[in-house]
Amino acid sequence: MTRSLDPLLAAADAALRTLFARPHATRSTPPPDLPPGTLTESERREAGALMRVNHVGEVCAQALYTAQAAVTRDPKLRHHFDEAAREETDHLAWTQQRLDELGARASVLNPVWYAGAFGLGLLAGRLGDPLSLGFVAETERQVEAHLDGHLDRLPAGDSASRAVIQQMKLDEARHAAQAWSAGAQDLPAPAKALMRVASRVMTTVAHRI
């Protein structure tokens, strides 16, 4: 009985830590290539809004990986999801740090984003490990493209946020490659399109609230 409750307890613990505890990175915050410049108030607000979107993305990543780890019956794959979630915790901590430094706040809808992503992770996991890994690969591919867009939109003087996003982009590309190596199955085109629509809704709302 206790063993059957372990995944549920682990998922509940992960949700509470993601939503209500201060995240702690295992890696140092990526240093900027150039000294940060002075930002105008409007530039600071825009940088803060972009980092809020990225923070939401990391909240969702925690939910996805936690759900997929809870569903899979393959111990090796569960370890893969757990390790990916731990690395994404670095991103969560880095984006939270940048929000604080920019005087911006996290999204008030984070519990909603977490719940939605957790549900998607459960659904993907129930479809079987190859499609669950395919969901990871496609998610990371879309996130990588999304981060590229943020690099274009960041104020030129915000080299600190730029360094964080560039490292996140490298990590997401590696997670996608690892998913393919582990046996990911490519998702059908309609599923990819639906994921893009959901991502667009999330990023648009999170940019504001």
Show the domains of the chain with their CATH numbers.
7-17+39-208 (1.20.1260.10)
Answer with the residue of higher pLDDT: 5 or 92.
Answer: 92
Percentage with pLDDT > 70 across the chain? 96
pLDDT, tens digit (0-9, with 9 covering 90-100), for 2-41: 455 566 777 788 888 899 889 999 999 999 998 989 999 9
What CA dihedral angle connects 58, 208, 205 and 123, to 10 degrees? 20
Residues 7, 33: Cα–Cα separation, whole Å: 42
Q: What is the pLDDT at residue 158? A: 97
103: how many CB neighbours lie within 10 A of its CB? 10
Indicate if the pLDDT at residue 1 is higher than 80.
no
Is residue 56's pLDDT more than 50? yes
Q: Is the pLDDT of residue 84 over 80?
A: yes
The whole-number pLDDT of residue 12 equals 81
Average of per-residue pLDDT values in the chain = 92
Mean pLDDT for the stretch of residues 201-207: 95
Dist CA 148 CA 60 (whole Å): 19
pLDDT for res 2 = 46
Using CA atoms, how far residue 152 sits from 50, 88, 104, 147, 149, in Å, is 11, 22, 20, 9, 5
pLDDT of residue 16: 83
Name which of 78-82, 127-131, 205-209 the model is least confident about.
78-82
Section 39-54 average pLDDT: 97
Nearest by Cα to 171 from 58, 67, 79? 58
pLDDT digits (tens, 9 = 90+) for 128-170: 999 999 999 999 999 999 999 999 999 999 999 999 999 999 9
Give percent above pLDDT 90 in the chain: 82
pLDDT for 203 equals 94
Range 64-85 average pLDDT: 91
